[in-house]
Structure 1
Amino acid sequence: MTVAAQDWLAWHERYDQPGSLLARRLAVVQERIRLALDAAPPGRIDVLSMCAGQGRDLLGVLEDHPRRDEVSAVLVELDPRNTEVARRCAEELGLPGVEVVTGDAALTDHYLSSAPAQLVLACGVFGNITAEDVHRTVEHCAALCRRGGSVVWTRHRREPDLVPSICGWFADCGFELEFVTEPGDFGVGVHRRLDGPPPSPLRPGTRMFTFLGQLTMAQRGCQ
């Protein structure tokens, strides 16, 4: 798989810049994660995170969340430098239920043991893949997320604004919209999996998307 020439370790430094787009988006994502954990049924809470980076969204919430010890999470990220940061953070926070995997987050194999999960995070994914792959990934979310569970996702709002289409694709796959940010410089959405017939099981050995990165997306004119 070809990844755009982007230093994804340095990219995370923008989260530490007060008022930056990433810092503001992270705050919204963390609030939606917190609400999803608050509303989860009693008992174990399975969480899956695609392209998890350093895990700042979930780990930042689990640091002081009252249900932190009930969370069993799988964070999948390709860059080993970022997974090392995430793994070290989880250890320092005393979160043995968090597993950090260095691997291609597009492959379904990484999620077979925990899907369908109560909470699925697709943050930092949809802005780095083609519209066709976004649609395909949303379709896979029906197998990744259990009925009554939620998917938290992000996408930029640059033209062409794909957020309305993403909401429609989730609706087509048996999800209802719980939350979406107003049009601005970033988009955060939450969709809840409705009760209904169970989807087909997650198939092993399947690629949901090809991660291109925003630089390659821009070069190809497919943002």
Structure 2
Amino acid sequence: MDWQQWHDRYDAPESPLAWRLRAVQDRIGAALDAAPPGPLRVISLCAGQGRDLLGVLPAHPRREDVRARLVERDPGNVAEVRRTATALGLPGVEAVVADAALLDHCADLVPADLVLLCGVFGNITSADIERTVEACTQLCAPGARVIWTRHRNAPDQVPRICAWFESRGFVREWTTSTDHVQSVTVHRFTATPAPLRPGTRVFDFVGYNRLRARESRTPLETDEPRGNG
């Protein structure tokens, strides 16, 4: 998969992914608006080219308060984030080439005020989704928001994922209607953060096509997952 070329799908204004990006950006803006005064820590896992955060931060009044780390395995995408952040005058935005499934890369930014999990849950197994939800209790400060996405193709996992969050001290603040195949949801953390566990690996990035192939019991079922954090 060419993960840089994959981002071209966002450039078609009427595509589901372009719609999802706009919805995520809107929720990021609302989360920054609602955050208390002072420094703000943002973590984005499997960040891609960071179009969600970088599409909001330059014009937002809290831009100078934000320290963000975008974790992404593809070096080309990370280079694009760095170029864009520099061009926009956002020294607080850092992009690292790393496996986003390893929480160690976020150790000095936790607990964070905003966690972005966009484009993650559609590419990992259900068991790994639940592990990632559990890991959010290590990443989030009290009152922090998690913005996450997931498609609603059958079987629709969105209600199940919401239940996993809500059983761990998260309150659902907002979600898109079921009319959209690409869903966006915001959960706010109301519990006490758990200590970060170094060395914790929370998921393997299998990829949407491989997951669908496994469900269909095709020969791809035996393929080894490859990460793209």
Q: TM-score, normalised by structure 1?
A: 0.95
Q: What letter is aligned with 1:18?
A: P
Q: Which runs of 5+ in 1 are unaligned?
A: 1-5
Q: What letter is aligned with 1:189?
A: T
Q: How does 1:28-39 map to 2 (within 5 A)?
A: 28-39=23-34
Residue 192 of structure 1, aligned match among 177, 188, 193: 188
SS at structure 1 position matched to 2:108: coil
**What is residue 207 of structure 1 aligned with on the other side?**
201
**What is residue 76 of structure 2 aligned with on the other side?**
81
Distance 2:183 2:15 in 1: 14
| Cα distance per residue 1:70-119 (max 9 Å; x no partner) | 10000000000100101100000000101101010000110110011000
TM superposition shift of 1:200: 2.4
Q: What letter is aligned with 1:186?
A: Q
Q: 2:123 touches 2:208 (CA, 8 Å); kept in 1?
A: yes
Distance 2:110 2:193 in 1: 12
Q: What letter is aligned with 1:126?
A: F
**What is residue 219 of structure 1 aligned with on the other side?**
213
Q: 2:141 touches 2:193 (CA, 8 Å); kept in 1?
A: no
Q: Which runs of 5+ in 2 are unaligned?
A: 217-229
TM superposition shift of 1:201: 0.5
Q: 2:118 touches 2:148 (CA, 8 Å); kept in 1?
A: yes
TM superposition shift of 1:164: 0.1
SS at structure 2 position matched to 1:46: strand
- Aligned pairs, number: 215
Distance 1:170 1:44 in 2: 25
**What is residue 47 of structure 2 aligned with on the other side?**
52
